[in-house]
Amino acid sequence: HAAIARSGGMAPPLAVFFSLAATRRCCLPRLSPPPKATALEKMHWALLEYAKRESGSDVAKSFVVPQQTAWPEELWGMELGKAVDAARTLEALASDDEAKLQDSLFQKDRDHPSLPRLSRTPWGKRLTAIGFDWKDAKEDRKYRILVGALEAYVKEHGDAVLPRNFKVPKREPYPPETWGENLDHKLYNFKFYRENVAAYPDRQAELRDLGFVWERLQPEFNLVVQALRVFKAREGHLKVPTSFVVPTLETDDDDDDPWPVGTHGMPLGRLCVQIRSRNDFVAGDLDKWKQLNDLGFPFVAPQTTEKSLLDEALDRYRDLYDADEPPLTFVVPPHDENWPRRLRGFELGKRRYYAKRRSDAAHLNRNLIDRRFDTFARALTAFVHLHGHADVPQKFVVPSDTFWPRDCRGMPLGQRVAHIRSKGYYVQHSDTDPRAQRRKQILDELGFLWHKNKKRQKNRPQKKNPHHHHHQQEQQRVPA
């Protein structure tokens, strides 16, 4: 406070100062801080020098006073941008604290004095006199643009409950700066609230009037837990269908909507699948895992699948009708006591027909993979026979000469080899699939390199000249 008190005195009037800066910039005398100036006084003089050159006080956060003769030597190296940003942050915090004091309940419970408003100190008044803006103009513009997009959405849809991953349409009345942006992610996150709303009571009131969904600011995991609790209360279990999305009721009565407004539009089924398959939200967090486990969340996919129902219905059909296959139009009678309640109304004929079609298609696909692998294996065998190794260059393409099998010519052999290494082509599930095990065994016998060597062996046999040994190649044939 003593330092601020020593910085008394009025700066040159704003209009006079900027008119001089605009008309006689080169002739203005260089301003210098007092010999024993405090840090606040130096900041004041640095802003004067900056305003003289830039005609404003909107200093970039990264700006540092350069070591140039145009600037007073006492200010060289001063991080003016960070100082201005800190002053604006303190002013915003004090403004928020002042707003809280207006609440009598809050004032009764507080045990510390209120924060001083820097703009009202003698030093702050001097900054205001030279045109210093205590609000961050850039951040204020960012806030205005995003809220303008939210206002346009509210006018079109009647509420501020943005769908998940809502992309701003490329049309009016949405601000052009937001076209194509994910408005849901930009507005409903805590960073936006902390930087643009928390310290501004007027903005909080503005968003409240728009119907801003404050619940969406909390972590997504909290909303998932809320939605799971409602689902369990309604359905009696947590076997959430994959396609389930939390509904949005078209009603103004909150009592008719059991779902928290922050969960509206949430793809709860897809999120449950991601928790089971990828450990989303719970990876490395035992507390979250325990929270879901205590709720009864099935970390293993429910066993009552369509396949299990189909197998059970088919066994029951064979027992009752002494037949192997049901007609295509057969439907389990909805009121037949001979059938379990969960199977009544089950379209057994149609489900069995499509299941057989999928099985036949999978069998044909496996046969097709086998045929393609056999062609690849013949090409790789020829390469090993010719070069003495299986380290195929990635750009290698089987040439069109008589040495190579006819159906292999033109094959991008190098790319196929790279795909086997990186993506597991032909050998996926080799630990459980006998066909994939056979393919892997063939590749191992050919000396397939499962991990690419960066440095090739110096003693590797050199590639033979096909034209030099053309008469020998005509006599050679690839083993079957």
More confident residue, 384 or 161: 384
pLDDT of 472: 47
Residue 276 pLDDT exceeds 80:
yes
More confident residue, 51 or 136: 51
pLDDT of 412: 93
H or E element that contains 41: helix 39-54
Helix axes 220-235, 286-295, angle to 10 degrees: 10
Angle at Cα 131 formed by Cα 125 and Cα 135, nearest 5°?
85
pLDDT of 135: 65
End-to-end C-alpha distance for the chain, whole angstroms: 94
Residue 286 pLDDT exceeds 60:
yes
Residue 399 pLDDT exceeds 90:
yes
Residue 5 pLDDT exceeds 60:
no
Distance CA 293, CA 3 (A): 59
**Which of 139, 160, 142, 143 is CA-nearest to residue 151?**
160
pTM of structure: 0.39
Q: Which two tokens stand for residue 342?
A: 């969960």
Distance CA 28, CA 23 (A): 10
**DSSP bridge pairs for 167:** 182
pLDDT in tens, 295-349: 888 887 655 455 677 888 888 898 898 888 898 888 888 788 888 876 777 888 8
To the nearest 10°, the Cα dihedral for 61, 67, 68, 70?
60
Confidence band of 393 (pLDDT split at 50, 70, 90): very high
pLDDT of 138: 57
Distance CA 240, CA 242 (A): 6
pLDDT in tens, 168-188: 888 888 888 888 888 888 888
Which three-class secondary structure string do you get for 191-260? HHHHHHCCCCHHHHHHHHHHCCCHHHHCCHHHHHHHHHHHHHHHHCCCCCCCCCCCCCCCCCCHHHCCCC
More confident residue, 236 or 300: 236
φ, ψ for residue 35, nearest 5 deg = -55, -40
Q: Which of 81-90, 169-178, 376-385 has the lowest mean pLDDT?
A: 81-90
pLDDT in tens, 52-63: 776 555 677 778
Contact 95, 199 (CB under 8 A): yes
Residue 41 CB: number of other CB atoms within 10 A?
19
pLDDT of 9: 36
